Structure 1
Amino acid sequence: MTTNDTTAGAVSGENLDKLNANLRKVEELTQRLTQVLTHRSTHNTALDGPNQELFAKAATAYWHEAFREPAKVLEHQLQFWSKSVTHFVEAQQALASGKLQAPADPGPKDRRFANPLWDTHPYFNYVKQQYLINADAVQQAVDDVSDLDPLEKKRLAYFSRQIVDMMSPTNFLATNPDALEKAVETEGLSLVQGLENLISDLEANNGELIVKLADDKAFELGGNIATTPGKVVFRNKMMELIQYTPTTETVHKTPIVLFPPWINKFYILDLKQQNSLVKWIVDQGHTLFVVSWVNPDAAYADVGLEDYIEDGYLTAIREAKAICGEKQVNAIGYCIAGTTLSLTLSLLKQRKDKSIKSATFFTALTDFGDQGEFAPFLTDDFIDGIEAETEAKGILPSVIMARTFTFLRSNDLVYTPAIKSYMMGETPPAFDLLYWNGDGANLPGKMAMQYLRGLCQRNELATGGFDLMGHHLELGDIDVPLCAIACETDHIAPWKDCYRGVQQMGSKDRTFIMTQSGHIAGIVNPPSKNKYGHYTNDDLGLDHADWLEGAKFHEGSWWPRWGRWIKKRGGAQVPARTPGDSEHPVLCDAPGTYVAVKAKP
């Protein structure tokens, strides 16, 4: 034995000792894992997926299809069998040849399988290709089911896809080359760190598994995120009202009051100076107020949409008018806050109150006739489960909503981050958008059910009217000048559905803008980035397809276009206003205190 051989053996033995030591740490961590799982908070099991009735109906429909068109079903079955057997034979032939190599055709590209070993290593290539064959077979089987209600088939397709995505070989250590390579490279330390990350995520959510998407230690509200200067000038049980410090010597007379969604925190519009819509609006010479909603707990169980309108919208508008000495405001509503702004506008119309001069809607649904990708979650079995959950806890916990939203993009927002965190032992990235995404809020039980039953399921606002606060609220009542911005690839509020709701509003002065990208990136799209363009078409009498076909595309952000629109409704210039007044003393600096309250399951 040479010296080099001896050294190599010693190093190998040392590495093995490190590996064994790290694996012992894994065993020690299991006690902590057992503890958190033993004391985990529970939720209604109906929220975990569809009841067995859906799959029973699907199976029955599939067999009906087999009896009605046996040739088609058999053809698809034989294709699956043929592909699987051929794949197995090719793998056997490769092994028999004595060459440890994958076939020349590595199979279709999929970003989950970026590691070269998926194409070059026979074991990983075999696993990958068989998984893709299986996935295609499941998809084909779902497509073959025709004797099923369209909504139920949509749910079947969604949950089948979830099962297929969950079973990807990348999600398991033994069949993930990236994770295996990292484990060997770090003598098992990556597995220890991964288990630490897993347990930390479980502990943070009382046993519910919500994958942390960003490093929450990298951000501080008011420090390096949500930093636009301003003051909290009013506070009640529902919200804090922030008035932002002017950056221009004069401002438009009519103030703007911005209502963000209360499902998440308002600072999505103030992440950092470079992409802050809050800062941009202030820099355009507007007095801007932003509502920061309370993060409700069980004490808010009986709070409904009427409370958000009365103690949120109407109060914020009243206080902004008083501070500025004006009779009107320009209002903005984002997502669910835009939906509720439409209710508020109908209410004010019926009360003959002209406090709102104009309304802007960001990705706001008012016609829920086509529920899009949320259809699987708006059937009675799931909503019944939410109702039972809210009755038991008084709130719809943020973790339930977060899980629902993330599984709409499960590969990007669940499995890929989970692999990096739990298998690779990586620290989540310091990404402000993902940090915000994980900083959710609970919903009051009553409000959640009003929204889900009355607006989403029964679509009352767009199909006859929604009863609230002693009024029958209708879209046709909305008659103020309005501008609606929707997003081309928005899976939460599809642009065509936002458009359909705007078409039903009674305003003679209506502007509709469709921006590229999705629910967040389409809105948080500063001009300096010059990243996403937008479409306009003045003819809102067309259906959505014809509107888009005739629309003009504009390079760059929609912000300047909306800026010109709101400027026309901003009024004359007056001296810039310092936040608050003698009747509204400054309570604290922006971003305030409500935004810092974390949701508790």
Structure 2
Amino acid sequence: MRSSGEDGNGTKPAGSSTEQYVIKDPELFARNVARMIESAGKAASAWVNPREKGEVRDSMADPMADMVKTFSKLSEYWLSDPSRALEAQTKLFSGYLDIWSNAIRRMGSDGSAAPDEPAATTDKRFRDPEWSTNAFFDFLKQAYFVTTNWANDLVRNAEGLDEHTRHKADFYVRQISQAISPSNFILTNPELFRETVASHGENLAKGMQMLAEDIAAGKGELKLRQADYTKFEVGKNLATTPGKVIARSEVAEIIQYAPATKKVLKRPLLICPPWINKFYILDLNPQKSFIAWAVEQGHSVFVISWVNPDERHGRKSWEDYIEEGLKFALDQIEKATGESEVNAIGYCVGGTLLAAALALMARQGDERIRSATFFTTQVDFTHAGDLKVFVDEDQVTALERAMGEKGYLDGTKMATAFNMLRAGDLIWPYVVNNYMRGKDPMPFDLLYWNADSTRMAAANHSYYLRNCYMKNALSRGEMMLAGQTVSLKDVTIPIYNLAAKEDHIAPARSVFTGCSFFGGDEVQFVMSGSGHIAGVVNPPALNKYQYWTGGKPVGDFDAWLAAATETPGSWWPHWHAWVAGLDERLVTARRPGARGMPVLGDAPGTYVTVRV
């Protein structure tokens, strides 16, 4: 990887000389610009054609309308009082005047860099020396920080906004701030400018070609490539832990993994992953695979592999996912092993489904699940984080209209929403690298999985948004399933609740709060380092991050954390000791296909290979 401050040929720029920004071969540059324009036409065609054929409808432009409506409410506060509006404008102009004054002083001195804004000293977008040594680029950088800090202050200081509107305004300001950064544009980024000159515009031609390819790959939508996907294939070098598909319903395949030990724990282990992404995040490769590691610890591992829904699954509800997914899996486990008691794991929304199913099963007298582990799972949505920005009556109604046309939500829509939660890491660096630099992204298994998005069945997704994010019905004891009102207080089995410190999808505070709604005495809360994925997929052999354990998860989260014990490394062994200690009995290892069970194919099965 080229270090910051190098040009397209890998050489350092000579000070702030203007020569490095002068085109050396106008004819070659013009030819590359012509290639860029040709590719731009292909990109435009890839965007327009599906819309002309009616294959793509921009009915999901509602987020843009919601952003305008949110900013309108923000503007009402500042414009309703002339003195308040004048004060805000004066603050912005004062910031600009300070930058201008500093620039004038530098022109009259030796040209040394003015003091950086605090954010600029650590912001990786502005590491190139020219952002400070070149008066023009320094001016752009300082103006950017003054403007975005001012916009953030407008949100923070607006009185009378309801909390949801303030949250949305803050989120949208961050999105716009990321988008308008001068680091994102050729003429305002010294590094990109130098690379364009050094390559005679070759980067522009290649970047526009990649943009056209990515719009075509998205069938009229931009499918931003975050990795070199050609280096990976599910079942070949991803999801390779040996196992068999032993059953299949309309919504799930049930995979039983081959044992790696002669003896195994008597209780089988059932993993319920999220359907928003594919299960193989827990089986990326042998070094990172939680599934393979659990097998090696003596667990008989079964996994639900959810279907990638299409028009046929539009009416599949949460109840269907419980009956044809979770309960179906429990039935198959009993047939395959003879065991009616299992330990279960739920990850993210798979954990939310598992918690709701446990509450329902408690009402029904179904006691087959004897312990539950939740990976970064929310059962209470009071502190649900930035995803709440997309969930209110207007937006959910618009989403339901869009899903009603096909019976599902396109996977690219959900992937874009998740990428927006970390736009500075998952969107703009790739826009710059791919379309400005014209560079192919590096192979990365995690980002391949991230891009392997799934569709959302309409009824299922609508139920989730309304009952969890909007009504918070599960923790309030108001969720209706199978004609019954279910309550987490009825769930009295041992619980292991894992949160991740930097999780932007299921914030640790939210997971902690959810612990109090379970009815049993044995509720463990553990917080890992890192985020929603790396905090979970953290094999002991890597010796990375840390985890925190402490007393009962009651009271204030910050107080719990302050008193918690920090342990270096992976939480996996801590979890295994906990779950194995619940029932230490061992039996002879069970192999897929035993006890007369059919084998429908090799793991990872067929459902997981269906791509959007």
TM range (shorter): over 0.9
| Shift in alpha-carbon separation, 1:574–1:421, aligned structure 2, 3 A | same
Q: Is the 8 A contact 1:334 1:362 kept in 2?
A: yes
| Shift in alpha-carbon separation, 1:348–1:533, aligned structure 2, 3 A | same
Matched, 1:134 2:147: yes
Q: Is the 8 A contact 2:502 2:529 kept in 1?
A: yes
Q: Is the 8 A contact 1:270 1:279 kept in 2?
A: yes
Counterpart of 2:94? 82
Structure 1 counterpart SS, 2:475: coil
| Shift in alpha-carbon separation, 1:66–1:370, aligned structure 2, 3 A | farther
- Residues of 1 paired with 2:132 and 2:167: CA distance? 33
Counterpart of 2:384? 371
1:181 deviates by 1.6
Counterpart of 1:3? none
1:139 deviates by 1.7
Please list the CA deviations of residues 409-437 of structure 1 after superposition, one character each: whole Å capped at 9, or x if unmatched: 11111111110010001111101111111
Counterpart of 2:44? 34
Moved more, 564-573 or 327-336: 564-573
Counterpart of 1:7? none
Structure 2 counterpart SS, 1:402: helix
- Residues of 1 paired with 2:509 and 2:113: CA distance? 45
Matched, 1:190 2:206: no
Counterpart of 1:484? 497
1:571 deviates by 4.3
Q: Is the 8 A contact 2:106 2:114 kept in 1?
A: no
Q: Is the 8 A contact 1:64 1:147 kept in 2?
A: no
TM-score, scaled relative to structure 1: 0.93
Q: Is the 8 A contact 1:222 1:591 kept in 2?
A: yes
1:286 deviates by 1.0
Q: Is the 8 A contact 2:501 2:531 kept in 1?
A: yes
| Shift in alpha-carbon separation, 1:123–1:31, aligned structure 2, 3 A | same
Matched, 1:321 2:334: yes
Q: Is the 8 A contact 2:102 2:114 kept in 1?
A: no
Q: Where does structure 2 lack aligned partners over 5 or more consecutive residues?
A: 1-21, 51-55
Q: Where does structure 1 lack aligned partners over 5 or more consecutive residues?
A: 1-11
Letter of the aligned partner of 1:38 in structure 2?
Answer: V
Q: Is the 8 A contact 2:43 2:213 kept in 1?
A: no
Counterpart of 1:565? 578
1:27 deviates by 2.3
Q: Percent identity?
A: 37
Please list the CA deviations of residues 39-59 of structure 1 after superposition, one character each: whole Å capped at 9, or x if unmatched: 242232213351543222211
Counterpart of 1:447? 460
| Shift in alpha-carbon separation, 1:354–1:124, aligned structure 2, 3 A | same
Q: Is the 8 A contact 1:65 1:146 kept in 2?
A: no
1:362 to 336, 358, 375: 375
Q: Is the 8 A contact 1:295 1:597 kept in 2?
A: yes
Q: Is the 8 A contact 1:61 1:146 kept in 2?
A: yes
TM-score, scaled relative to structure 2: 0.91
Q: Is the 8 A contact 2:335 2:595 kept in 1?
A: no
1:16 deviates by 3.8
Letter of the aligned partner of 2:70 in structure 1?
Answer: L
Counterpart of 1:305? 318
1:92 deviates by 4.4
Letter of the aligned partner of 2:28 in structure 1?
Answer: K
1:245 to 235, 254, 258: 258
- Residues of 2 paired with 1:548 and 1:34: CA distance? 52
- Residues of 2 paired with 1:475 and 1:48: CA distance? 37
- Residues of 2 paired with 1:503 and 1:48: CA distance? 37
2:364 to 337, 346, 351: 351
Counterpart of 2:469? 456
- Residues of 2 paired with 1:104 and 1:316: CA distance? 64
Please list the CA deviations of residues 367-410 of structure 1 after superposition, one character each: whole Å capped at 9, or x if unmatched: 11233222211122221221111112211111111111111111
Letter of the aligned partner of 2:29 in structure 1?
Answer: L
Counterpart of 1:213? 226
Q: Is the 8 A contact 1:346 1:474 kept in 2?
A: yes
Letter of the aligned partner of 1:534 in structure 2?
Answer: Y
Matched, 1:116 2:126: no
- Residues of 1 paired with 2:578 and 2:82: CA distance? 59
Structure 2 counterpart SS, 1:275: coil
Matched, 1:43 2:73: no
| Shift in alpha-carbon separation, 1:543–1:79, aligned structure 2, 3 A | closer
Moved more, 505-514 or 76-85: 76-85
1:86 deviates by 3.4
1:226 to 221, 235, 239: 239
Counterpart of 2:299? 286
1:235 deviates by 1.4
- Residues of 2 paired with 1:13 and 1:446: CA distance? 57
1:175 deviates by 0.8
Matched, 1:543 2:556: yes
- Residues of 1 paired with 2:414 and 2:81: CA distance? 36
* Moved segments of 4+, more than 6 Å: none
| Shift in alpha-carbon separation, 1:84–1:541, aligned structure 2, 3 A | closer
Letter of the aligned partner of 2:92 in structure 1?
Answer: F
| Shift in alpha-carbon separation, 1:450–1:140, aligned structure 2, 3 A | same
Please list the CA deviations of residues 62-120 of structure 1 after superposition, one character each: whole Å capped at 9, or x if unmatched: 134555xx4xx6555434322312322443454577x7x46443543221111111111
Matched, 1:165 2:175: no
Letter of the aligned partner of 2:353 in structure 1?
Answer: T
Q: CA RMSD in A?
A: 2.0
Counterpart of 1:9? none
Please list the CA deviations of residues 347-370 of structure 1 after superposition, one character each: whole Å capped at 9, or x if unmatched: 211111111111111111111123
| Shift in alpha-carbon separation, 1:248–1:150, aligned structure 2, 3 A | same
1:230 deviates by 1.2
Aligned residue pairs total 582
| Shift in alpha-carbon separation, 1:261–1:448, aligned structure 2, 3 A | same
- Residues of 2 paired with 1:373 and 1:215: CA distance? 29
